[in-house]
Amino acid sequence: MKRLVLPWVLLLLALTACGGADAGSDGALLRVGVIVSNGSQPSGIESWAYQQGILQQQLNAAGVAKVEWVSFPNGPNLNQALKGGSLDVGVLGDTPAISGRAADLPTQLSGIGVRGQDAWLIAGPGITSLADLTGKTVATQQGSYMHRCLVGLLDSAGLTSSVKVTFLLANSAQQALDKGDIAAYAAPTGTGPLLLSKGYRSIDQASNHPGLTGNSYITLSQDAVKKYPKLASAWNAGVAAAATQLKADPEKYYAYVAQITGLPLDVVRASYPASVFGDPAPTVADIQTIRDTLSFLVAQKLATAPFDVDAWLAPGVRAAA
């Protein structure tokens, strides 16, 4: 397994330079982009499934000989690499995946790798409730599921016009809170529980509000779909098998994530309860969630236009009950 661990600006320049023709031209290399918020290497269930030898068994049968993992700080940057042809697969949050497709990014949906990721609204000094944010600045990662959560929280509290939202990567959140540059930060898994373990307070979180938790989507470039017709079903089968193994012994996965990210085990457990993992194959309920999320993003001007969700599904993928 080869991992590219480079600063994201240099990484994007490298990907732009190499384009999509040379890498994997033998039809055996799958270039997979993932979001990394803690540490510098992938630690999601898909990379763990590959490290365990589970995912590649399925991928080999689909014509993939090896996987190259490419790390990104957020979904919009990953989408740019998909658009430029430098990736075959993107594993990213629901909000950038849906927003990208709404902007005509040529992807197709393989499945949902993680369902129900929480987000925490971490408060700075003197902030004890959403109402205290009036007239202040809050931050999150642009175009992320936490961004959608933050917009939803502010909207439900009637604070949309009275709170300034700015964008900041998760690894800069603590410093910004401590300096008073922001009043609160909408934090993802990993970062949220880590800040809580350090004594920071959460004044709200996604799991308290139906529809605001996040999902991790597996998107395929249309070129990859043509090159590997069985890719979607193979990927889903590999991750589903890994999820079954994980639920039987979650501590093994938690130890893996802790080693990769440097996060304390208690933070890892709080970030990734076994309940968020399962079969990636989309269900009827998942499809409805995509439609609801798309409608919300369009209404909030976080996505450009609606699209046919059913047509977004990759070949061989059908919504099950």
pLDDT per residue over 159-208, tens digit each? 999 999 999 999 999 999 999 999 999 999 999 999 999 999 999 999 99
Task: Report the percentage of the chain scoring pLDDT > 70.
Answer: 90
- Name the nearest CA neighbour of 90 among 258, 289, 224: 224
Angle at 220 between CA 215 and CA 222, to 5 degrees: 145
What pLDDT, on a 0 to 100 scale, did the predictor assign at position 224? 96
Report if pTM > 0.85.
Answer: yes
Whether 237 shows a pLDDT value over 90: the answer reads: yes
Whether 217 shows a pLDDT value over 90: the answer reads: yes
Q: d(Cα 41, Cα 306) in Å, to the nearest integer?
A: 34
Whether 293 shows a pLDDT value over 60: the answer reads: yes
Q: d(Cα 234, Cα 46) in Å, to the nearest integer?
A: 12
Q: What is the pLDDT of residues 307-321, one digit of tens each?
A: 999 999 998 887 666
Mean pLDDT of 228-245: 96
Mean pLDDT of 145-166: 96
Both tokens of 303, joined, read 């996505």
CA 176 to chain centroid, in Å, comes to 23
Both tokens of 49, joined, read 């499934």
Mean pLDDT of 65-89: 95
Taking a C-beta distance cutoff of 8 angstroms, is the pair 256, 43 a contact?
yes
- Name the nearest CA neighbour of 170 among 119, 227, 238: 119
Q: d(Cα 35, Cα 91) in Å, to the nearest integer?
A: 7
Report CA torsion sign: 48, 76, 200, 205: negative
List residues bridging with 186 in a β-sheet: 121
Q: d(Cα 223, Cα 81) in Å, to the nearest integer?
A: 13
Q: d(Cα 44, Cα 40) in Å, to the nearest integer?
A: 12
Q: d(Cα 310, Cα 290) in Å, to the nearest integer?
A: 10
Task: Report the percentage of the chain scoring pLDDT > 90.
Answer: 86
Q: What is the pLDDT of residues 9-58, one digit of tens each?
A: 334 433 333 333 333 345 589 999 999 987 678 899 999 999 999 999 99
Question: Is residue 147 exposed (0-12), middle (13-18) or buried (19+ Cβ within 10 Å)?
Answer: buried
What pLDDT, on a 0 to 100 scale, did the predictor assign at position 38? 72
Both tokens of 31, joined, read 């270039």
Q: d(Cα 71, Cα 258) in Å, to the nearest integer?
A: 17
Amino acid at 286: D
Mean pLDDT of 143-147: 94
More confident call, 304 vs 4: 304
Angle at 76 between CA 316 and CA 44, to 5 degrees: 60
Mean pLDDT of 222-247: 96
